[in-house]
Structure 1
Amino acid sequence: MAFGVPEEWVNDVRAATEDTLFDIIEHLPQEAQEALLKLAVGEKPLPPEPAPALADPFAHPDAQRRFRVLTNAEELKQALDYPWDKWAVFLHPAQAELVEKSFSGPTRVSGSAGTGKTIVALHRAVHLARANPGSTVLLTTFSRALANSLRVKLASLVAGEPSIAARIVVKAISTVGYDLYSERFGQPQIAAPAMIRSLVTKAASEIEGHRFSTHFLVGEWEDVVDAWQLRSWDEYRDVSRLGRKTRIGGKQRESLWSIFERVRAGLVERRIVTWSDVFGRLTDSLVGKSARPYDFAVIDEAQDLGVAEARFFAAMAVGRGDGLFFAGDLGQRIFQQPFSWKALGLDVRGRSFTLRINYRTSHQIRLHADRLLPTTVSDVDGNAEGRRGTVSMFDGPPPMVVACADASNECSVVGDWISARLKDGCSPSEVGVFVRSDAELKRARAAVKAAGARAVELNDKVEVENGAVAISTMHFAKGLEFRSVVVMACDDDIIPQSDRIESVADDADLEEVYNTERHLLYVACTRARDHLLVTGITPVSEFVDDFLKGS
């Protein structure tokens, strides 16, 4: 009863089993639901502290779940005028504490998929704008599509407050760099990946005596030389090469630097720059200057920050305790090699928090998806993010896994499943179909066509459409949410992607490839709220076996 369970439900709760718990908690207050779910996974929640007799009852966190106190007629009118879907996204009292707290340095909020990290980031941006009149707040993320989604949600939060909305800038990180660089140095001409590869290949052919593959050289350029903006032999000789597993000796480094010097010269000659060059030059322009492009920055999907971008944000927030707020999940890192944030001045130790209540994904889907990752994921600096103790707020059917005989069989299975979801009342725009790469998109198109539905392919410029089933690669699934999700083409040679495995130089690099491939599948599966289907052609991916463990 101390956890909020009504007396008449105590006996039922005591007799609950794993099978009956979800039926029972639907009848209980939300704070009691959360406490029982924590007890069920082995945590020991503390009963809520009794409120002092003279305390404002509406100030209690449990009351704030259910009530919003309106202080004037204008607020009441605004509330009554808005439909429910335009109300500000729900903020749990435990999340509200992180949103409103003042910090003494860079802060990071983590949590598995669906725990509300993006919601916290949105509210944090609004709080900073409100608490600091006249300031400009940057709200940013790793893709344009996600930035557009943040912009829509922000509009609901600050509707009727144009002065707040005007001071919150929502942009993708690449757009932030491009716009600031254009403003200060002129429009940048960004080097295409094919151009970098061509320059590396040409430079390598001019240096005799080395045995490095083009794949290794491109990786060394991207993850070390370009990422850390190394401009001299001394810098390259002394760099720690964090995230690069292959060991290289002094003589080898000299040969490598001779290659990379030529690559740099080729970029200068063609007057083109890399994204790391863009953020590197912007960072240099901030040194010793009091003026900053933004007063505060809130960065969502922060696990995919690159070295140059992280260094830029560190320079922008020097001397400002609340200057940087990161939200992300190491288990969803799919783009960047790991590196030390602390080495760049982004030390989040003591200011790193984990969200543990999942509002988006059913208990069954979350339980299966979590098997794809270790119970604890750590960064280079030793900050650990644990998945144990995370609880979902609702129940659902178990995910389905089907090993198909061939592409035709898979098309039929997926088509029938999508058709059944649509007949159950799921709208086409609430269904997502994800595959590993562009090469498998044709299988997704065929399956949606077999279901008698229209498909829209998502990318940086194309978003979910009403009346159409969304299909995309797993990379574009990041940040999206659907009632029903199909993860297709989980064949043995597709995930993990065979090309990536075959190009790996050593076993340590292979581990990194496997980790990011697992993260991709985890991201795709956790886009589902209620229903999940995973398919592949026999033999299916080894990751699917991990997904099924314990079921």
Structure 2
Amino acid sequence: MDTIWEHHKTIGDLLADAQRLQLELAHEIKKHPSRSGHISSNIETFEREQKQLTENIKELNVKLDRLSADTKTHQRKIDTLRNERYALQMSLKRKELEISVEREYVAAMRRMTVYTRTRSDYERTLLRLTSEQKQVLDRISLNTDFLIKGRAGTGKTLVLLKAIEKALGKGEQKALEIQELHPSVSLLTYTKALAKYDRYLAGILPSDIDADVISTVHAFLRKRINEADSCYHPENNDSTCIEICSPYATSSMSAQDILGEIKTFIWAHAVTRKEYLDEMIERKGMEKPLQAAARNTVWQAKEALEKYISETGCAPFQHFPIRLMQLLDDEKSKALIRRFDHICIDEAQDLTAATLQALKRLATRSVILAGDADQSIYQMGFSFQRAGLDIKGRSYILKTNFRNTVQIHHLAERFKGSSICESQEYSAAFKEGPLPELHQAPNSAALIELMTDRVSFFTKQLEYDLENICVLTPSKNDFPVIIQALTDKNIKSGSIRDDNFAFDESTSGIVRLSTLHSAKGLDFPVVLLYLPNEAKGVDGYNEETNAGICRNLVYVAMTRAMDHLQVFTLDNPDSRVIADLVECFSLT
């Protein structure tokens, strides 16, 4: 803030100046593409060149002084040296101007980046409960189901954690009507990365919620199943399941297609035989239309697959909720399965209807969900009604985006094709910041070079801690080459997907790497979105559905950024979704 005061300008004026500099630099980069992404190295190179030019001028001055003693003899050489000196002086002035432009850009970026450079800065921003969030917390009664809705960055996870605090008697008890002395609570997420992140957030809350309360949905379901069926375990390879489906394959439907139908539709929605065969239930978003004969074939394959599961206890994770509900239907098995007073679910829109049904049956008092259908990256046709949850009149929308800056928020909403900024249901972000930046290159090698140089810029020029920077990629297969490129610049990095990774101090000093999918629910001060191609679609979904999921996925990735969003794409992206994102930058 001292820097801002010295300029004797309003914050609005400073922001306008800073954004003007960003746009000027972007214009320069378009004229000189080689400069893109190399701010840090440019400054260092310019300073070295400036120093060398100064030394050369000094040497020429010495020679001129010596030659001046005999001007008649050496006049021609003196003129030559003077011309050389003039050329060097002009070059030095140009170099000083280039350094001045680069430094002014860095200074402008620093003026807009005053909150989250260090871990402690970052953690402080995460723990502030807004008045709007407090109102939602006060409305939650743990005797009924409740839905917390909100777009990216509205703080749904923090409200869930605060609700758990109160349910466990570790916070204020207002409006939660706690009856038990020691109520049982579980917070569930879809991805391992989000479970780790929620444990990290819980650990820095004053109440210090036990990490054991938080787990992934699939780990939770398997644990409950094993309480009544110890033989049940996951099948991590589709090859056996495909082999079982192979006898039912036809010229129009492969064994892979049949397995996809079973996993992503029949099991996902807990579809009954009557619904599937007699009522011909609509298969929203699925790739191929299926008539009665084809459905009958699929159902036969499903029964063969479930026979194998029953005999071996080996099943794909999509079958977990089906098996749990089978056990809950049996009174003897049901008595062996632990129930919970309250089950909280983060990013609920990514769970299947069958999973939510099973979790509802395990909760004795309430299911509290946080979600946003516009961020769905796994499930289409998301429906609480199908899941057996009655939240009518018991939901609340968080309207304020306090994670993203106004600039990031507007770009993300423009890409999403939403008129959200003008709607009454949601309000815009309020925190000003630098404009998101687009970097393009002709190939992935050049793109990675731009990206790693940008990491250097944020650490050396803007002084961000490495752990506050995250690189997001479509696939984990991108990790090795990125890690190597960062290592070549003496920058440590690591994947948040690694089993031994945690978001606490144990992994400080390294840049985070994540796939787009694993970044769901997380946030980082600086996000570098590496998009040489789009993420792989979901087997069994049609092209339109997969395009919608891909767009949601990129939207989710963009909205992980708190202060700075840097996007990296090829010059002519093949993906329509990525091309749309590039076009959005031209409208900024």
Q: Check whether TM > 0.5.
A: yes
1:337 has 2:380 as partner: yes
**How many angstroms apart in 2 are the aligned matches of 1:376 and 1:512?**
21
Q: Please report the TM-score for the alignment, with normalisation by the length of structure 2.
A: 0.69
1:175 has 2:216 as partner: no
1:89 has 2:127 as partner: yes
Q: Which residue of 2 aligns with 1:265?
A: 307
1:308 has 2:354 as partner: yes
Indicate how the Cα distance of structure 1 residues 474 and 168 shifts in structure 2: closer, same or farther if over 3 A, else same.
closer
Indicate conservation of the 8 Å contact 1:243/1:339, yes or no.
no
Q: Which residue of 2 aligns with 1:256?
A: 298
Question: 263, 268, 272: which is aligned to 1:222?
Answer: 263
**How many angstroms apart in 1 are the aligned matches of 2:210 and 2:392?**
33
**How many angstroms apart in 2 are the aligned matches of 1:167 and 1:472?**
22
**How many angstroms apart in 2 are the aligned matches of 1:295 and 1:251?**
45
Q: CA deviation at 1:357?
A: 1.6
**How many angstroms apart in 1 are the aligned matches of 2:295 and 2:369?**
35
Structure 1: where are the runs of 5+ without partners?
Answer: 1-11, 24-81, 378-384
Query: Could you say what secondary structure the match of 2:380 adopts?
Result: coil
Indicate how the Cα distance of structure 1 residues 388 and 353 shifts in structure 2: closer, same or farther if over 3 A, else same.
closer
**How many angstroms apart in 2 are the aligned matches of 1:171 and 1:496?**
26
Q: Which residue of 2 aligns with 1:486?
A: 528
Indicate how the Cα distance of structure 1 residues 248 and 119 shifts in structure 2: closer, same or farther if over 3 A, else same.
same
Q: Which residue of 2 aligns with 1:100?
A: 138
Indicate how the Cα distance of structure 1 residues 277 and 407 shifts in structure 2: closer, same or farther if over 3 A, else same.
closer
Question: 198, 212, 223: which is aligned to 1:150?
Answer: 198
- Aligned letter for 1:185? D
Q: Which residue of 2 aligns with 1:34?
A: none
Q: Please report the TM-score for the alignment, with normalisation by the length of structure 1.
A: 0.73
Greater fraction helix: 2
**How many angstroms apart in 2 are the aligned matches of 1:342 and 1:221?**
21
- Aligned letter for 2:427? T
Q: Which residue of 2 aligns with 1:26?
A: none
Bigger radius of gyration, 1 or 2?
2
Q: CA deviation at 1:389?
A: 3.9
- Aligned letter for 2:233? Q
1:518 has 2:518 as partner: no
Q: Which residue of 2 aligns with 1:58?
A: none
Higher mean C-alpha displacement, 511-520 vs 274-283: 274-283
Q: How does 1:99-498 map to 2 (within 5 A)?
A: 99-103=137-141, 105-130=144-169, 131-132=178-179, 133-157=181-205, 159=207, 165=209, 169-195=213-239, 197-205=241-249, 211-229=252-270, 232=273, 236-238=277-279, 240-245=281-286, 246-286=288-328, 293-317=339-363, 320=365, 323-375=366-418, 389-423=426-460, 424-459=462-497, 461=499, 462-464=501-503, 465-488=507-530, 490-491=531-532, 494-495=533-534, 497=536
**How many angstroms apart in 2 are the aligned matches of 1:240 and 1:233?**
9
**How many angstroms apart in 1 are the aligned matches of 2:371 and 2:472?**
21
Q: Which residue of 2 aligns with 1:55?
A: none
- Aligned letter for 2:377? I
Indicate how the Cα distance of structure 1 residues 329 and 387 shifts in structure 2: closer, same or farther if over 3 A, else same.
farther
- Aligned letter for 2:354? A
Q: CA deviation at 1:276?
A: 4.0
Higher mean C-alpha displacement, 224-233 vs 114-123: 224-233
For the aligned residue pairs, the C-alpha RMSD in angstroms reads 3.5
**How many angstroms apart in 1 are the aligned matches of 2:363 and 2:259?**
32
Q: Which residue of 1 aligns with 2:91?
A: none
Higher mean C-alpha displacement, 294-303 vs 135-144: 135-144
Post-superposition Cα deviations, 1:386-433, rounded to whole Å, max 9, x if no partner, equal 797433242111111122022332122112211110012101111111
**How many angstroms apart in 2 are the aligned matches of 1:143 and 1:420?**
31
Indicate how the Cα distance of structure 1 residues 221 and 309 shifts in structure 2: closer, same or farther if over 3 A, else same.
same
Q: CA deviation at 1:143?
A: 2.3
Q: CA deviation at 1:304?
A: 0.8
**How many angstroms apart in 2 are the aligned matches of 1:345 and 1:413?**
49
- Aligned letter for 2:522? L
Q: CA deviation at 1:136?
A: 0.8
Higher RCO, 1 or 2 (CA under 8 Å, sep at least 6)?
A: 2
Q: CA deviation at 1:105?
A: 3.9
Q: CA deviation at 1:167?
A: 11
Q: Which residue of 2 aligns with 1:550?
A: 587
Post-superposition Cα deviations, 1:180-200, rounded to whole Å, max 9, x if no partner, equal 112222152212242355235
Indicate conservation of the 8 Å contact 2:199/2:211, yes or no.
no
Indicate how the Cα distance of structure 1 residues 254 and 432 shifts in structure 2: closer, same or farther if over 3 A, else same.
same
Post-superposition Cα deviations, 1:79-113, rounded to whole Å, max 9, x if no partner, equal xxx99958992211221122122447422112222
Post-superposition Cα deviations, 1:413-471, rounded to whole Å, max 9, x if no partner, equal 11221111001210111111111113333442244235431111221622352111111
Q: CA deviation at 1:358?
A: 1.9
Q: Which residue of 2 aligns with 1:29?
A: none
Indicate how the Cα distance of structure 1 residues 344 and 526 shifts in structure 2: closer, same or farther if over 3 A, else same.
closer
Q: CA deviation at 1:487?
A: 0.8
Structure 2: where are the runs of 5+ without partners?
Answer: 1-8, 20-119, 170-177
- Aligned letter for 1:258? Q
- Once the two structures are aligned, what percentage of the paired residues are identical? 22
Q: Which residue of 1 aligns with 2:75?
A: none
Query: Could you say what secondary structure the match of 1:459 adopts?
Result: coil
- Aligned letter for 2:411? H
- Aligned letter for 2:587? G
Higher mean C-alpha displacement, 229-238 vs 190-199: 229-238
Q: CA deviation at 1:311?
A: 0.6
Q: Which residue of 1 aligns with 2:51?
A: none
- Aligned letter for 1:471? L
Indicate conservation of the 8 Å contact 1:375/1:388, yes or no.
no
Post-superposition Cα deviations, 1:40-93, rounded to whole Å, max 9, x if no partner, equal xxxxxxxxxxxxxxxxxxxxxxxxxxxxxxxxxxxxxxxxxx999589922112
- Aligned letter for 2:248? A
**How many angstroms apart in 1 are the aligned matches of 2:203 and 2:476?**
33
Q: How does 1:32-47 map to 2 (within 5 A)?
A: none
**How many angstroms apart in 1 are the aligned matches of 2:464 and 2:583?**
29
Indicate how the Cα distance of structure 1 residues 199 and 244 shifts in structure 2: closer, same or farther if over 3 A, else same.
farther
Post-superposition Cα deviations, 1:203-256, rounded to whole Å, max 9, x if no partner, equal 335xxx652134432221112232244575775443624434433222222222
Question: 531, 542, 548: which is aligned to 2:564?
Answer: 531
Higher mean C-alpha displacement, 420-429 vs 306-315: 306-315
Query: Could you say what secondary structure the match of 1:297 adopts?
Result: strand
Higher mean C-alpha displacement, 470-479 vs 457-466: 457-466
**How many angstroms apart in 1 are the aligned matches of 2:122 and 2:522?**
20
Total equivalences in the alignment: 454
Indicate how the Cα distance of structure 1 residues 125 and 487 shifts in structure 2: closer, same or farther if over 3 A, else same.
same
